[in-house]
Amino acid sequence: MTLAPPPSSRVQLTDDGKLRHFLSVEHLSRSLLEDMLDTAASFVDVGGRAIKKVPLLRGKTVVNLFFESSTRTRSTFELAAKRLSADVLNLDISKSATSKGETLLDTLRNLEAMAADMFVVRHQDSGAPFFIANEVTPGVAVINAGDGRHAHPTQAMLDMYTIRHYKGGFDGLRVAIVGDVLHSRVARSQIHALNILGAEEVRLIGPRTLLPVAAESLGVTVFNDMAQGLRDVDVVIMLRLQKERMDSAFLPSEAEFFRLYGLNNEKLRHAKPDAIVMHPGPINRGVEIASEVADGPRSVILNQVTFGIAVRMAVMSMAISGQESSQNPEQGEDHGR
């Protein structure tokens, strides 16, 4: 018996299982995520070439639609698209007709009239990229660059790339995600990705007020004590306090949070001696991470950013290829590497 794919897969995948939008890691297969990481690996060296370009998206138009602020995601999507030879339009939402009352759908229709082939969307509302993916003209791809508290799938995949690069894979791997998990779309996507890719154990560490209710149902182990949670882990992922998403007092104070959950060299001693330290950024020094760790030898935080370009190149080329194959089943057989 063939089971119907879950709703997010139906939107994201073509009838023959290729990626056509990338909205969420949830419900995707291990083989598709591994294919994405392998495709990214084939793009890493492009950043080191004298001419940092491949022609895969030549003639395509990518529109960055960022309704929330961003440094890393917006910049690396722009660089990724340019390295794939696409034309890139960064709509400045603060100066757009959104401020005159234009709806998201009307903005979308107008950008489609300019022959956009892909929308990269960051939005404060969970589900906005799904809404757009259901509304766009067939053949146009939508990539979720972070929606509300829901998902940040390309961040999770660049994190998986980084882990695979430094640890060789996911078998037997213990990963700790520390801090404000409750408000973190990054953590949600990371948990799904780590479970799909077969990590041995995913631990969430934080105060009860900043962990999801019934977090264990996500397939994780929960710790409220930093020393216990970090014991013998291979990877430590620190999270920023998402104060912009907090509507009540979740913490006594930032100083108290740093004392209990801020990562410094003394706390890092509980992890394995070769454990790596990651953070999606932006980092808040002295709040969730000490400078001695952020700038120390175990930190791979800036490497995550570099790998993000290759991972976003992979996602964009796979989505365009999937769209082309669903429009014309004779095309789009590979990712055009």
Shortest distance in whole angstroms from residue 105 CB to ligand CP = 25
> Which residues, including other chains, have CB under 8 Å from residue 55's CB and lie 6 or more apart?
84, 85
Based on the shown chain and the rule CB under 6 A, indicate whether residue 73 belongs to the binding site for ligand CP: yes
**Full strand arrangement of the beta sheet holding 118-123:** 87-91, 61-66, 118-123, 141-147
**Piece of 77-85, 197-205, 266-274, 275-283 that binds ligand CP (CB under 6 A):** 275-283
Based on the shown chain and the rule CB under 6 A, indicate whether residue 124 belongs to the binding site for ligand CP: no
**Piece of 69-77, 91-99, 214-222, 316-324 that binds ligand CP (CB under 6 A):** 69-77
Is 229 labeled as ligand-binding? no
**Piece of 34-42, 44-52, 248-256, 277-285 that binds ligand CP (CB under 6 A):** 277-285
Shortest distance in whole angstroms from residue 115 CB to ligand CP = 27
> Which residues, including other chains, have CB under 8 Å from residue 290's CB and lie 6 or more apart?
262, 263, 264, 265
Strand 61-66 versus strand 87-91 pairing type: parallel
Based on the shown chain and the rule CB under 6 A, indicate whether residue 155 belongs to the binding site for ligand CP: yes
- Decide if 123 contacts 70 (C-beta within 8 A): no
Phi/psi-derived region of residue 178, left when phi > 0, alpha when psi is between -120 and 50, beta in every other case: beta
Shortest distance in whole angstroms from residue 193 CB to ligand CP = 15
Based on the shown chain and the rule CB under 6 A, indicate whether residue 179 belongs to the binding site for ligand CP: no
Shortest distance in whole angstroms from residue 124 CB to ligand CP = 12
Closest by CA position to 252, among listed 210, 285, 292, 222: 210
CA-CA distance, 5 to 142, in Å (whole number)? 19
- Residues from 23 through 42 that contact ligand CP (CB under 6 A): none
Nearer to ligand CP, 159 or 324 (CB): 159
Is 323 labeled as ligand-binding? no
> Which residues, including other chains, have CB under 8 Å from residue 330's CB and lie 6 or more apart?
none
Q: Which residues are annotated as a binding site for carbamoyl phosphate?
A: 72-73, 122, 152, 155, 281-282
Applying CB under 6 A, which residues contact ligand CP? 70-73, 146, 155, 280-282
